[in-house]
Structure 1
Amino acid sequence: MENAKTVKQSQVETRDIVHPSDVNAYNFVFGGHMMSLLDKAACIAAYTHARRRVTTISIDNVRFFKPATVGTILTIKASVNRVFNTSLEVGLKVVGVHPQISWQPEVICHAYMTFVALDENGKPTPIPSIIPETEDEIRRFEEAGIRRDARKKLTAQLEAK
């Protein structure tokens, strides 16, 4: 595990507040706006881990649980779950508080994004592995492998048609 890094070394936590221009006609944050926030946080985690240029190659299991309305303070957490030679999966969780209603945090959404590391010529290049240390990190590491296998199986099934 030469150059391997712990999960903590690249974890990201960032915040944002929902503005009137970020919401739709129902006063709920646009999914696209949320995706932008997720992609930025995930990219920072991936870049920090890989220490080289990375690009998003897939977005999986984006699930919205609660609406975020104007004034909601969002906390976006991003963490590298697993490394697969030249790619890595980042898990994301968004928690929001609605100060005008309650300061009780609520899970707004979660997602998984896969990034590939690129060399100077824009070609995929190997990156350091990840060392999961806690029970939660180990669980996320194992689940990332299951999601990757499922993506590969689905791709093969669709290409066979």
Structure 2
Amino acid sequence: MTARDGAEGAGGGPAATHEEAPGPAADRPATKPTAASRTTLSHIMTASDTNLLGTVHGGVIMKLVDDAAGAVAGRHSGGPAVTASMDEMVFLEPVRVGDLVHVRAQVNWTGRSSMEVGVRVLAERWNESTPATQVGTAYLVFAAVDEHGRPRPVPQVVPETERDRRRYQEAQIRRTHRLARRRAIKELRERRIADGLDTDD
């Protein structure tokens, strides 16, 4: 199994159903700095990547994002990692045929077996020396798994710069909001079932 195995079936395994807070140091592998797994994936967009509007299909960009994030998660955790969720994907500018797209990814935060990977998507014309434009951002949560698909511990990420520390803090906020949203939805559904308003999902 590779870091990409199981990514499309994100809701199906035990590792993808929850996020764990950081555990005691004795339960975790050695720490790793942010730079140890930071990765950039570059790809030239062609006519086969376009949608009906003539720009690059959002799904193509999302796959590049997932590929880059999966590589980062696998490198940081030292083994297989599966996509647990995409917390956010924002498209800022359209991507065109002939754009050279750079997908830059890094681990922002780690729990006991989960990792948030932040991704920035930039685009520039393949044959021009103009600065790249940021066209998208995304945040994904990955779970490290063993050969049986069970969660396994990951190294704690160590932010190295002020930007890394800011991203770590922002990732903690996103995690808090994710967990609160899940609890609120679960409680709402349970109340509606108890009141006889919902009989199934």
TM surpasses 0.5: yes
Q: Check whether the contact 2:44–2:126 (CA below 8 A) recurs between aligned residues.
A: no
2:78 aligns with one of 42, 51, 61: 51
Evaluate the alpha carbon distance shift between residue 101 and residue 9 of structure 1 in structure 2; reply closer, same or farther with a 3 A threshold.
closer
After TM superposition, give the deviation of residue 120 of structure 1 in Å. Answer: 2.0
Paired with 1:151 and 1:22, the residues of 2 have a C-alpha distance of 32
User: Does the alignment pair 1:115 with 2:142?
Assistant: yes
My pick for the range that moved more, 103-112 or 149-158, is 103-112
User: Does the alignment pair 1:67 with 2:94?
Assistant: yes
After superposition, the C-alpha distances for 1:29-67 in whole angstroms (9 at most, x for unaligned) are 111111110000000000000001100000022000110
Identify the residue that residue 62 of structure 2 maps to in structure 1.
Answer: 35
2:116 aligns with one of 89, 105, 114: 89
My pick for the range that moved more, 65-74 or 97-106, is 97-106
Mapping 1:134-153, distance limit 5 Å: 134-153=161-180
Evaluate the alpha carbon distance shift between residue 24 and residue 127 of structure 1 in structure 2; reply closer, same or farther with a 3 A threshold.
same
After superposition, the C-alpha distances for 1:126-148 in whole angstroms (9 at most, x for unaligned) are 11100001000000001100000
**Runs of 4+ with deviation above 6 angstroms:** none
Identify the residue that residue 44 of structure 2 maps to in structure 1.
Answer: 17
After TM superposition, give the deviation of residue 121 of structure 1 in Å. Answer: 1.4
Paired with 1:131 and 1:159, the residues of 2 have a C-alpha distance of 33
Evaluate the alpha carbon distance shift between residue 100 and residue 10 of structure 1 in structure 2; reply closer, same or farther with a 3 A threshold.
closer
* Higher Rg of the two aligned structures: 2
Unmatched 5+ stretches in structure 1: none
In percent, how many aligned pairs have the same letter? 34
